[in-house]
Each structure stands twice: as structure tokens, then as C-alpha cells.
Amino acid sequence: MSNKIKVIAILTFAMAFFPAISSAETKIGFVNLVKLIEEAPQGASATKKIEAEFSPRDNAIRKKQKKIQKLESDLEKNSLVMKASQLSKKEAEITKLKRSIKREADEFREDYNLRRNEELKILQKVVREAIHEVGKENNFDLILAEGVLFTSKKANITELVLKKLRSK
């Protein structure tokens, strides 16, 4: 059972069997983690950083893909006037370039995803810290995130946490 479900179960049990606890005001909040991660300014800056880091490699791959397209176009135009040996040599060159680009593109995607995941972990930590700060500053007893089926606008503190993230 996940920790969140355990906490909810314990609170429900405690409120049902110990009326004194349930009569005390329990302040519960909810945050939309997806919205926080998507709209946090730290996420936008991380995206820009990753794009700047990987754009030279991406541009190089695109340049090679255009080169292949040009070679294929040239081959198609001139195939009727080329000797068989020239034709097979050009086809082999194109095939070799395609394999090379596929390898580069696969490595690029893998490196990009690893780097993006690193930045996402950092962002998740920043978001978690902001949620904790908002919880302490506003005297929340419990802040829930995922697995909530309903929350009132009063309990949704996503905008409050976003405000905190924007101020950092």
C-alpha cells in the first residue's frame, strides 16, 4: 500500500474512532503536481538549458539527413545515365550514411532522455521543497497530490505553490 493511501486510511480511522481529533480543525490541501512541473519557471529554464546543450548535435543530424535526401534525389535523377558500378557505389554510400545517422539519432535520443530525466529529478526536488514550505507557512496538516478523486477549490493550493516557485 502506498504511503499516501496509508496516511488517508489512518486519518479516516482516527477521525471515525476519535471524535476529539475530528472536531479539531484539520487543514488539508491538494496540489496538482503535473501542473506545477509544467508551469514552474524552473522547468522552462531547464528545458532551455537542455535545448541549448543538444541543439548542435540535433542540427548536425538534420544536416546529414538533408545530405542524404540530396544524394537520393541526385541518384534518382541520374540513375538512367549512370553505369551499374557507379549506381551501386552511390546506393552503398547512401545506405552507409543512413545507418550512421540512425545510430547517431538513437544515441542522441538516449542522451537527451537521460539529461532530461536528470533535470526532471532536480525540478521535482524543487517542487517538493516548495510544497513543504507552503505547508509549513500556511499550517497545513496534510497536503495530498496524486490519487485524489475530488478536491474543492479551497483545498487546491497548486496556485499558492506556483507563486512560491515563481518567487525563487
What pLDDT sits at residue 26?
A: 83
pLDDT 10s digit of each residue in the chain, 168 long? 566 666 566 656 655 555 544 446 888 999 999 999 999 999 999 999 999 999 999 999 999 999 999 989 988 888 888 888 888 898 999 999 999 999 999 999 999 999 999 999 999 999 999 999 999 999 999 999 988 878 888 889 999 999 999 998
- Tell me the whole-structure pTM to 2 decimals: 0.71
Give the sign of the dihedral formed by CA 121, CA 124, CA 128, CA 129.
Answer: positive
What pLDDT sits at residue 93?
A: 92
What pLDDT sits at residue 125?
A: 96
β partners of residue 137: none
Cell numbers at residue 17, please? 474512532
What pLDDT sits at residue 18?
A: 54
CA nearest neighbour of 97 among 136, 65, 57: 65
What pLDDT sits at residue 21?
A: 47
Pairwise CA distance, residues 147 & 20, whole Å: 27
Packing angle of the helix pair 84-137, 158-167 (nearest 10 deg): 100
What pLDDT sits at residue 80?
A: 83
What domains does the chain contain, in order, with CATH numbers?
Answer: 3-167 (3.30.910.20)
What pLDDT sits at residue 168?
A: 81
What pLDDT sits at residue 5?
A: 66
Pairwise CA distance, residues 143 & 131, whole Å: 8
Please, are residues 131 and 31 in contact by the beta-carbon 8 Å criterion? yes
Cα separations (Å) of 162 from 19, 26, 100? 35, 23, 44
